[in-house]
Homo-oligomer: A and B are copies of this chain.
Amino acid sequence: MGATKSDLFTKQQNEIANMAKALAHPARIAILQYLVKKNACVCGDLVEELGLAQATTSQHLKELKTAGLIQGTIEGASVCYCINPKVWNQYGKIFGAFFTEAMDIKSCC
């Protein structure tokens, strides 16, 4: 036991849960907000920005890249990261749909 039983749920449910998982760490939120704020490719200064070890930062970047939310381009010796707008907007749309689905819910108990 211990592993999530993905087969019990719909593809959509697993998808939304995985999207949420990508956002489920403050370091990853911080990375995304930083990239959004800069509104451009950011090279190098992410490790100092976060305060986590280089290895840990790299791991969070990898997860965001796997989720598709960011993309990295090799720029000489360093790597530049930026938001992937297409996936970003898709996330926004899917979470938006999930929550507006019940905007008019009634408080019953």
Contact surface of A with B, Cβ cutoff 8 Å: 4-6, 8-10, 13-14, 16-18, 20-30, 33, 36, 39-41, 50-52, 71-73, 75, 80-86, 88-89, 91-92, 95-96, 99-103, 105-109
Contacts and interface: CB of A to CB of B under 8 A. Distances in A.
Given A83-B105, A102-B88, A13 B29 contact: yes
A17 B95 CA distance: 14
A18 B75 CA distance: 34
Contacts of A29: 9, 13, 16-17, 20
B25 A105 contact: no
A95 B99 contact: yes
Give the number of times this chain occurs in the complex, counting copies.
2
B96 A36 contact: no
Interface centre among A21, A52, A99 (most CB of B within 10 A): A99
